[in-house]
Amino acid sequence: MTAAIPDQRAARSAVLSEQLHDADPEVSAAIEAELARQRGTLEMIASENFAPLAVMQAQGSVLTNKYAEGYPGRRYYGGCEHVDIVERLAIDRVKELFGAEAANVQPHSGAQANAAAMAALLEPGDTILGLDLAHGGHLTHGMRINFSGRLYTVAAYQVGEDHHRIDMERVRELAREHRPKLIVAGWSAYPRHLDFAAFRAVADEVGAYLMVDMAHFAGLVAAGLHPSPVPHAHVVTTTTHKTLGGPRGGVILSTRELAKKINSAVFPGQQGGPLEHVIAAKAVAFGMAARPEFAERQRRTLEGASILAARLLAEDTRAAGVSVLTGGTDVHLVLVDLRDSDLDGQQAEDRLHQVGITVNRNAVPFDPRPPMVSSGVRIGTPALAARGFGAEEFHEVADIIATAFLPGFDEQVSAALRKRVQVLADRFPLYPGGFPAAPGRPSSATPSAPRPSATPSAAQSATQEADA
């Protein structure tokens, strides 16, 4: 057999060194355009954040090449000695961050974390009691066509029609009536703290497990700025990319007694090989969340949400029929109620998109409109706090949003608001030192985003549903 000469050997492996902008110009261009959009607009979708460069470097590492079915020290593949180190770091760091006895860092998403936790605790047909989707709950808390609604018998608690808050006496009544095996506390669109001790008392009374989904507020808990569910719940699930600001993924925290069941439900119950490159990014994010500057960012996140709520409750917006559900917020998001306004949720989302602010329309409790239109908007502050915004900037953002919701919004007003948004975006450049993962232009130049159009494209419209 004739050995390949050096040039031939290099040619055979050249694909491994090919840059994205050479290998796939179309994907490269779309990524560059998205980077420009993020830099030139203000992200205020409550479930979105900006991952630190170090997190993205870990996620884009050679760990993506490694299969590692199983758990550290008990793998079904060889060569796992280094990914074992990474996964153990992630486990130890998240346990310390939240004071948990056990942790599984392998779930690919919050939804899969919830699915695995339920599979560990329930049998098909068992009853779960969770917050109604139309009242701020999540798909995985019992929506009829979701796995949770198809596999399990679902009972739902709601918020009060007059105060839009969860009534724990009503939760207790429903628990006594339906005798659930699992009670889910957590939300996708609810602006107030939950009483975890009260939820646990109800669960104990009816012999149920308590699972808390803290996907939205985990970063606030880590910073000590939100009550922790860990001392009260049997199981706590979370995503790692919302207020935590890490990579997209999930985590399950549990008591030591439930750890084996949880681990088996994740692998082999729900998943095969874990995404070790994402687990590495989780480890980095957990380490960053233990720093003092992370807590300071979470403080600004809460401050920004409070400033926004106060501005939207001012005399001019109230006169225009704009309101804020529950009269304020304890967390990182504000739920705007437009039922008495001339705007619906879609129109409000479109107006803000036009001036360079990204939010999502969101149903409000007892909403008379269909979900794709809705009567509300969900607005969050984590991404702007990550970008460096403080009280001064949040006051300006809040006034821009309020002005966009007032009567008299036209092209002239829109243009003026867009300029104000651009000033803020330029004042706090995103990834200012350059973005090595971005294809094409390796320089530190910060291109401006194209001006958003007033009307989303068909593709945009198809993807603008309320997110997790």
Mark whether 248 is an active-site residue: yes
Question: Which CA distances in Å does 179 have to 148, 238, 427, 434?
Answer: 17, 25, 54, 55
**Computed from CA positions of residues 165, 168, 171, 173, in that sequence, does the dihedral angle turn out positive or negative?**
negative
Q: Where are the beta strands (DSSP E) in 55-152?
A: 70-71, 74-75, 102-104, 127-131
Q: Which helix (H) or strand (E) holds 324?
A: strand 323-324
Mark whether 239 is an active-site residue: yes
Gap between the Cα atoms of 322 and 214, Å rounded: 28
Partners of 130 in beta bridges: 156
Gap between the Cα atoms of 447 and 427, Å rounded: 14
Catalytic residue among 67, 126, 132, 339: 67
Buried b / exposed e across 352-364, counting CB within 10 Å, b at 16+? bbbbbbbbbbbbb
Q: Where are the beta strands (DSSP E) in 332-444?
A: 333-337, 357-358, 360-361, 376-380
> For residue 268, is the peptide bond before it cis, meaning its omega torsion is within 30 degrees of 0?
yes
Catalytic residue among 242, 297, 361, 378: 242
Mark whether 153 is an active-site residue: no
**Computed from CA positions of residues 225, 226, 232, 234, in that sequence, does the dihedral angle turn out positive or negative?**
negative
Question: Which CA distances in Å does 326 have to 66, 75, 101, 387, 429?
Answer: 48, 49, 35, 28, 34
Catalytic residue among 239, 243, 301, 326: 239
Catalytic residue among 32, 43, 48, 213: 213
**Contact, 258 vs 102, CB < 8 A?**
yes
Catalytic residue among 24, 69, 92, 316: 69
- Torsions phi, psi for 190 (to 5 deg): -150, 125
Gap between the Cα atoms of 412 and 408, Å rounded: 10
Mark whether 2 is an active-site residue: no
Mark whether 126 is an active-site residue: no
Mark whether 242 is an active-site residue: yes
Gap between the Cα atoms of 217 and 227, Å rounded: 10
Catalytic residue among 39, 75, 192, 248: 248
Q: Which residues carry out catalysis? A: 67, 69, 213, 239, 242, 248
